[in-house]
Amino acid sequence: MRTDGKLDYLELPALELPGTKAFYTAAFGWAFQDYGPSYAAFDEGLDGGFDSDPEKSAAPLPILYAQDLEAMQVRVETAGGQIVRPIYAFPGGRRFHFRDPSGNELAVWSEAG
């Protein structure tokens, strides 16, 4: 159910839509609904947080989840993603950052274990 004031949608640029869709399908199993030749929607869940660390990028950082972080990093690389920050620990878990084929930076996290 949609609620007033809740994050509801995340829109990312895609320099080359078919390749971007192929990447997210191969790496994460996403499905898409096409709305014309230049837009494809996804429905894959959303939570969020704010980071005020001045050393970090000012751009939004979508973060995905993986039960097996190492296996997911291999999937991302195999699908054509570029690892920009290898797996590292942070309070509450571990994660890595990557760029998709359109240059968007995202991260994948897992609980510490």
- In-domain check, residue 2: no
pLDDT at 78 over 90: yes
- At 11-21, the pLDDT tens digits run 788 888 999 99
CATH of the domain at 66: 3.10.180.10
pLDDT, averaged across the chain? 86
Is 0.85 topped by the overall pTM? no
Collapsing DSSP states into helix, strand and coil, what is residue 110? strand
Regarding beta strands 82-90 and 93-99, do their DSSP bridges make them parallel or antiparallel, or are they unpaired?
antiparallel
pLDDT tier for residue 55 given thresholds of 50, 70 and 90: confident
Q: Is residue 95 part of a domain?
A: yes
Range of the domain at 36: 17-49+59-111
Q: How far apart are CA 56 and CA 28, in angstroms?
A: 25
Number of Cβ within a 10 Å radius of residue 108: 23
Q: How many domains are contained in the chain? A: 1
